[in-house]
Structure 1
């Protein structure tokens, strides 16, 4: 790792614990003809590729082909594959294929550009990078090639889609069209890990988890939300975070149902997808779901029984609007990449109190606690339990979020909180100091100031509070077009670049 950080690998999962791929394979063997994965209806607009609908048998073949190819090109067992893909079938197939091939998977946010991609890839020493040729009009294959050129560890760049650049290996034919189903020897898929990225006061941090920890997160969502087996799920959350993966892909694997994907956000497309696929559960950012509820958008969707609203700014949940529909709404609180928990709303549609203490996995003893939530000695939300990756945060300095001990027993999330004297519930009052959250993408305040200094004289870049996304970026320059071009050339993500868009 660079910048004085050492990468702490996740401990191997117990041999008897199922892997994500084993959960998938069991359903594929039991229900091969059932539909498993459904692409966004507007996928052609997003990626230029027609949407796919895969049965479990078809998805299993695609996973097997891609896994075998990863082995054939020389990726060793335990190597890390970085994945930057949209919310499409390719993302799910790639994650399962990499794990079946004995590889660990690092999830990269879609809005990351060259500067952030290069930093993250160098930190984890990824051996390969998988992306899509174009996403929402952006040439991601070219971004991947440029980022890989700055990372000594990367040996291969793979890309789905058309018109892949020279040096990038196209994957569509290998995964979906090749006329073979190869045999792949067991490479210990249960020992691989899933890596996401968090932003802490000391900067970007890779957060590896064993598959057992990932499954514990998915179980927490499934059990707290009381999701029945075989549920048809519509996911409008990006596959680039622990909360996004647990609420969509892992709950799908655990329930053995159907996972329909929506690439955020085209409201009309989302609603038509839910109706067409008769989805019973919607997973979406909580502010978006509540706003759709207020407009009556769900009135003509009788099959929709549950909505899981993901709060990436959990301090905003308590003051959110009420849910007025008879169908249930579950608040899913995500604390960066440290952990999550779900709480169904009360009978009046308002957020239920968050009680401190353990949240056990159903049918297990004290060793099966998905997570325990409490207020730390610093007056912040602390978490521990089966899903919480203590090792990933153990290297933090004493001034950082973790309560410093030789053997830490919890992660301090940094979210300020207090106990309600009336009911003893945890009230989350503020986000971590020095960290900005823009729609799920976290920045350091200092980094924002550093980039602002690159602007011409008189230029300004700042973060403003926003009720929907936590914060929003706003910029001002004498020549906005020139400022946008300069920031894009530096490899910054579009949240910063578009802060200088022209306003009427």
Structure 2
């Protein structure tokens, strides 16, 4: 009797390359890792990475984490992040990714909403003591049973994963490798509020394919990922693209322009994946500064800005624009020889560029609300299902087969292209951090009469926060004590300079 076919997982892709070239370079740390985390930068082959993954996976199993339970991760863009994600999947766990900008309030909410059984963090990142943040958040999540950390000077009660990696692998368990199983949980903000978004392996792989095939990333390439990985787009553009290419993944913890250029040249990177606005600023003399680059992928957190962006001026390394829509999904469009953005046509998008008969990577549509909708294998439709209307009918509403991203859009009549005109109403974005505009008013009210917290438009990050209070220093202290994001805290920094 034939066994039913199963789709690959991320670990399946890793194992395929491991079997083919075990001694090829797999992972390269940021060259400034000592400054970021206090660790010496490392380089791992596929065989060395596999041993580390096996060791961590066995430790998670021996710690008593049940299969299919959730392990939360808050780590920088370093080798430890990649190893932990793959080790968790090998142990049959589901990974919840927690952005580094999150502090106590958001961490506790995410851990409780996902019923996470463990959390993994780094002792210190860019001077911030994340081990203490994890311990305090875990204390408010009743489901947490284990707190793991990389680095030195970990607080009492936090198990050191560096010590685990120094030991031989222990006992692991057999896990069915099926891409339909849950792989990650990321977090989004919609008009309905904070929303966990679970995804299976095949959805994450589909996101990586949409990027790598549109950008024509060659097999065996050395890929530099300079985009925070704590989101669906970050995971698809780094982990999934690397595993699909079977090459080398070089990691850069965002963001230092000089270090980035040095790292691209020293590590022989052929592909650079980074925020698009930054790439456009570097594009003028990219050939002189990073001559080895052959491919650039720019990720747009504010996709409504793509059409009005500057032309790409480095023909030796073509640019692919990747439109990001929160955690709902993404699509990529490679620029033409003139370097200007290519119009986006609604309808089905093939997995292979300019090949109408290829398998479907996704579909772009205009919803009845004149917003942009997405559907396809990477889009988690169930996670974004609208709430059942509160009425007297007992009849279930018809299921929606697409996700409404909330981005305002229209059809350009002369060309038939879809034009994205504005971000979702009521939702602010500062880089990768999304929040409801009502939250700003709520936090300002907590600071007392006369306090103001607002979001101002910003060309690079979408919005930037600005605050005003009778005493800015005391406002910063109060917001820090509430466990709020540092972007909100620093909105009340003193802006008065010397006369």
Task: Map residues 253-292 of structure 1 onto 2, 5 A cutoff.
Answer: 253-292=243-282
1:229 aligns with 2:214: no
Aligned to 2:175: 187
Cα contact 2:352–2:358 (8 A) shared by 1: no
Aligned to 1:318: 307
Give 2:144's match in structure 1, choosing from 154, 161, 165.
154
Cα contact 1:196–1:207 (8 A) shared by 2: yes
1:92 aligns with 2:82: yes
Cα contact 2:62–2:171 (8 A) shared by 1: no
Q: Tell me, in whole angstroms, the C-alpha distance in 1 between the residues paired with 2:399 and 2:356.
A: 23
Q: Tell me, in whole angstroms, the C-alpha distance in 2 between the residues paired with 1:366 and 1:147.
A: 50
Aligned to 2:155: 165
Aligned to 2:393: none
Query: For structure 1, which segment, 305-314 or 474-483, has the greater mean C-alpha deviation from structure 2 after superposition?
Result: 474-483
Aligned to 1:3: none
Question: Structure 1: which 5+ residue stretches go unaligned?
Answer: 1-13
Q: Check 1:331–1:367 CA distance in 2 against 1; reply closer, same or farther (3 A cut).
A: closer
Task: Map residues 248-397 of structure 1 onto 2, 5 A cutoff.
Answer: 248-294=238-284, 296-326=285-315, 327-362=317-352, 368-396=359-387
Aligned to 1:9: none
1:440 aligns with 2:432: yes
1:130 aligns with 2:120: yes
Shift of 1:189: 4.4
Q: Tell me, in whole angstroms, the C-alpha distance in 1 between the residues paired with 2:356 and 2:80.
A: 37
Cα contact 1:361–1:368 (8 A) shared by 2: yes
Question: Structure 2: which 5+ residue stretches go unaligned?
Answer: 391-395
Shift of 1:300: 2.5
Please list the CA deviations of residues 155-193 of structure 1 after superposition, one character each: whole Å capped at 9, or x if unmatched: 111011111111111101212x22x23453322243232
Q: Tell me, in whole angstroms, the C-alpha distance in 1 between the residues paired with 2:356 and 2:344.
A: 22
Aligned to 1:10: none
Cα contact 1:311–1:317 (8 A) shared by 2: yes
Q: Tell me, in whole angstroms, the C-alpha distance in 2 between the residues paired with 1:254 and 1:487.
A: 43
Shift of 1:397: 5.2
Matched position secondary structure for 1:263: coil
Query: For structure 1, which segment, 405-414 or 189-198, has the greater mean C-alpha deviation from structure 2 after superposition?
Result: 189-198
Q: Tell me, in whole angstroms, the C-alpha distance in 2 between the residues paired with 1:480 and 1:189.
A: 53
Please list the CA deviations of residues 229-280 of structure 1 after superposition, one character each: whole Å capped at 9, or x if unmatched: 0011001111111111111110100000000000111110000000001101
Q: Check 1:407–1:347 CA distance in 2 against 1; reply closer, same or farther (3 A cut).
A: same
Aligned to 1:492: 484
Cα contact 2:321–2:333 (8 A) shared by 1: yes
Give 1:30's match in structure 2, choosing from 20, 24, 34.
20
Q: Check 1:17–1:58 CA distance in 2 against 1; reply closer, same or farther (3 A cut).
A: same
CA RMSD of the aligned region, Å? 1.7
Aligned to 2:51: 61
Shift of 1:298: 4.7
Shift of 1:341: 0.5
Q: Check 1:362–1:441 CA distance in 2 against 1; reply closer, same or farther (3 A cut).
A: same
Aligned residues: 484
Shift of 1:502: 2.1
Q: Check 1:328–1:367 CA distance in 2 against 1; reply closer, same or farther (3 A cut).
A: closer
Query: For structure 1, which segment, 389-398 or 29-38, has the greater mean C-alpha deviation from structure 2 after superposition?
Result: 389-398
Query: For structure 1, which segment, 128-137 or 184-193, has the greater mean C-alpha deviation from structure 2 after superposition?
Result: 184-193
Matched position secondary structure for 1:209: strand
Q: If the length of structure 2 is used for normalisation, what is the TM-score? A: 0.94
Please list the CA deviations of residues 413-472 of structure 1 after superposition, one character each: whole Å capped at 9, or x if unmatched: 000000111211110000001100100110100111100111243221100000000000
